[in-house]
Amino acid sequence: METIPMPAINFAAVMPETILSVFAMVLLLVNVFVPGKQKAYLAYLSLIGIIVAGVSVFNAWDAPLSLQEGFSGSVLQDNFSLFFKAIFLVSAALTLLISDQYLERENCNHGEIYPLILLATAGMMLMASGTDLMTIFLGLEVLSVALYVLAGFNRENVKSNEAGLKYFLLGAFSTGFLLYGMALTYGATGSTKIANIASYVSQNGAVTANPLFLVGMLLIAVGFSFKIAAAPFHMWTPDVYEGAPTPITAFMSAGPKAAGFAAFIRVMVFAFPTLKADWSDLLWILAVLTMTIGNIIALKQDNIKRVLAYSSIAHAGYALVGFAAGNAEGAAGILFYMLSYAFMNIGAFASSSS
């Protein structure tokens, strides 16, 4: 009988995600035994989980390649992903710090919000470190399902319910585009691993004329454009940001946007490097359109959360400028921009919620 070899697992490559997932499950159990409205200390337990995950991220910086790769090359915890993971942890920590008093005031301080934030952060981390299209999709779904619930978390508020439903419907629709694009790319190249796709494209130049491959790449770009709220795929953003609880809106505007950029860069730059001239033209058009729409429509808003929503759209356009450059300097610019943007935007939403 032929033996099936065990894949190389290496949990060190997903240690921050594992820590957050374990803390989230522990918090779910603890929440069952917490009486009534005494949920405040769950936020502090969540912060402890984020700090422990942060220590894991710090210790993994510049780790040898044998510790970076895991699950047969499906995840890669390189410095690129570690920097983004630090941004996600900062976003989650700031969100937790501004959540407790707001949720108490709105009478929706249910304990489930804290494990949901941790699980969403774990999903973002998988998106940043995924080197397989299926791993990125798995991280995206973990993130998205948690965000659908968080957007409609204030069950007594009609706008919050509307935000959760709109985000779920439009998010599922965009996920279909993304998954179909991944399926077409797999059909054209025979692999879902980013390195194998890049190798196949470089060795088989004819594949770039294959409509199956080109449509797949375009659909992947459309799916990620929705996640980063780039125009014209931004329509969900103002309504969802307005209806969601303010701390959750702050979280959505910083962490998931950075995760979308991390996965978008990983796929386009590393899987399709030989098509840079084509997708960079597409990205600068998206950047100009996103900056223009975000800034102009923001001028007509009379709700502070909708103003910040259109500001978030415009900022996605600014970050796309660095992405369209398609080089190391552009990627470094996006990394720095996402970190400073997390502090700036969450601070703005914190001020509006006080």
Task: Judge whether 183 and 216 are in contact, CB under 8 Å.
Answer: yes
Q: Which domain holds residue 28?
A: 11-353
Q: Is residue 119 part of a domain?
A: yes
CA atoms within 13 A on the CB side of 101: 6
Task: Judge whether 89 and 128 are in contact, CB under 8 Å.
Answer: no
Task: Judge whether 111 and 42 are in contact, CB under 8 Å.
Answer: yes
pLDDT on residue 225? 92
pLDDT tier at 51, thresholds 50, 70, 90: very high
SS3 75: strand
Task: Judge whether 82 and 60 are in contact, CB under 8 Å.
Answer: yes
Please state the rounded mean pLDDT for residues 302-310: 88
Which residues does 306 contact at the CB level (< 8 Å), separation at least 6?
238, 241, 242
Q: Is residue 6 part of a domain?
A: no
pLDDT on residue 1? 52
Task: Judge whether 321 and 69 are in contact, CB under 8 Å.
Answer: no
Instruction: Read off the pLDDT of residues 223-264 as tens digits, 9 standing for 90 and up.
Output: 999 989 898 888 888 999 988 888 899 999 888 999 999 999
**What average pLDDT does the chain have?**
87
Task: Judge whether 159 and 54 are in contact, CB under 8 Å.
Answer: no
Q: Is residue 2 part of a domain?
A: no
Nearest by Cα to 74 from 161, 162, 11: 11
Instruction: Read off the pLDDT of residues 161-198 as tens digits, 9 standing for 90 and up.
Output: 888 999 999 888 889 999 999 999 999 998 999 999 99
∠ at Cα 225 (259, 195), nearest 5°?
A: 65
pLDDT tier at 53, thresholds 50, 70, 90: very high
Q: How many domains does the chain have?
A: 1
pLDDT on residue 109? 74
pLDDT tier at 352, thresholds 50, 70, 90: low
pLDDT at residue 210 is higher than 90: no
pLDDT tier at 38, thresholds 50, 70, 90: low
pLDDT at residue 324 is higher than 60: yes
Give me the residues paired with residue 337 across strands.
none
Q: What is the rounded distance in angstroms from the CA atom of residue 242 to the CA atom of residue 21? A: 29
Instruction: Read off the pLDDT of residues 61-101 as tens digits, 9 standing for 90 and up.
Output: 887 766 688 888 889 888 999 999 999 999 999 998 888 77
Task: Judge whether 252 and 121 are in contact, CB under 8 Å.
Answer: no
Nearest by Cα to 188 from 156, 228, 217: 217
Q: Is residue 242 part of a domain?
A: yes
Q: Is residue 50 part of a domain?
A: yes
SS3 130: strand
Q: Is residue 216 part of a domain?
A: yes
Q: Is residue 290 part of a domain?
A: yes
What does DSSP assign to residue 209? G
**Do you know the residue count of the chain?**
354
Q: Is residue 1 part of a domain?
A: no
Task: Judge whether 327 and 283 are in contact, CB under 8 Å.
Answer: no
Please state the rounded mean pLDDT for residues 121-146: 94
Q: What is the rounded distance in angstroms from the CA atom of residue 235 to the CA atom of residue 254? A: 18
